[in-house]
């Protein structure tokens, strides 16, 4: 059986990378995100070079991804308020676990969820996600709101890229060889979503 066959609609984009179109009903997620952001608000993370990322971020779960002049790392504490990050809602855990399972990764238990917020004009340059301890665990990405063009390049930053438009409710699971592929998001075009307005949310579930 091909990985992903548990969800009829799934597509293998490259080795280990599965798109589950419309896997999530994002109407249920909006109030949960609002509640998380009421304790740990969105902020622009500062890169090691002292620039600010155009995407705004926050986290939930026992560990949160933070970026500062010391570099990128996971922290139990939100540096903005000195408190632990808000707990990961059960619905989020369930979605991440089920999407991973539908892509051939059973038993995925994320301890971290990075929340990214994009507006038109925002982008994310090519990077690898390698601040986690265990690359055998996949990363599960949930997109909400307006569309974005996501690209993936393989193990080297240079070279041809494959790209796919991600829409509200789409989930992508990155495991196996694709777990360490360079990837990013092209500059968002002006657009409006009926539920989320002129914004895009991306949740990435990780085993930090
Ligand atoms: C491929 N986020 O937060 S999600 C990120 O849409 C990130 O906000 C983008 O890249 C976003 O790190 C893309 C898709 C994604 C996430 C993690 C990956 C693709 C990945 C890890 C390895 C390979
Ligand atoms: Fe990433």
**Residue 4, pLDDT score:** 41
Residue 5 CB neighbours (<10 A):
11
Average pLDDT, the chain: 93
Q: Give residue-wise pLDDT tens across range 146-172.
A: 999 999 999 998 888 899 999 999 999
Neighbouring residues of 188: CB distance < 8 A, sequence distance ≥ 6: 118, 119, 120, 121, 122, 123, 146, 148, 200
Query: What's the Cα-to-Cα distance from 54 to each of 12, 112, 183, rounded to whole Å?
Result: 30, 21, 16
Which residue is closest in CA terms to ligand 1's atom 4? 141
pTM, 2 dp: 0.94
- The residues lining ligand 1, judged by C-beta closer than 6 Å to any ligand atom, are 114, 116, 124, 129, 139, 141, 150, 172, 174, 178-179, 181, 183, 185, 202, 204
**Residue 6, pLDDT score:** 53
With the most atoms of ligand 1 within 8 angstroms of its CB, the residue from 204, 205, 208 to mutate is: 204
């Amino acid at each position: 059986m091909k990985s992903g066959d548990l969800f009829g609609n799934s597509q293998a984009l490259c080795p280990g990378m599965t798109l589950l179109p419309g896997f999530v009903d994002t109407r249920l997620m909006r109030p949960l995100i609002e509640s998380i952001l009421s304790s740990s608000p969105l902020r622009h993370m500062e890169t090691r070079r002292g620039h600010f990322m155009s995407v705004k971020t926050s986290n939930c779960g026992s560990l949160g991804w933070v970026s500062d002049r010391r570099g990128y790392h996971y922290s139990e504490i939100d540096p903005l308020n000195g408190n632990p990050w808000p707990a990961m809602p059960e619905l989020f855990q369930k979605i991440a676990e089920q999407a991973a399972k539908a892509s051939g990764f059973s038993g995925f238990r994320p301890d971290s969820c990075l929340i990214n917020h994009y507006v038109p004009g925002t982008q994310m340059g090519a990077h690898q996600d390698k601040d986690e301890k265990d690359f055998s665990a996949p990363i599960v990405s949930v997109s909400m709101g307006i569309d974005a063009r996501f690209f993936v390049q393989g193990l080297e930053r240079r070279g041809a890229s494959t790209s796919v438009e991600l829409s509200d409710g789409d989930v992508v699971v990155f495991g196996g060889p694709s777990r360490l592929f360079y990837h990013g998001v092209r500059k968002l075009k002006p657009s409006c979503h009926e539920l989320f307005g002129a914004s895009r949310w991306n949740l990435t579930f990780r085993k930090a």
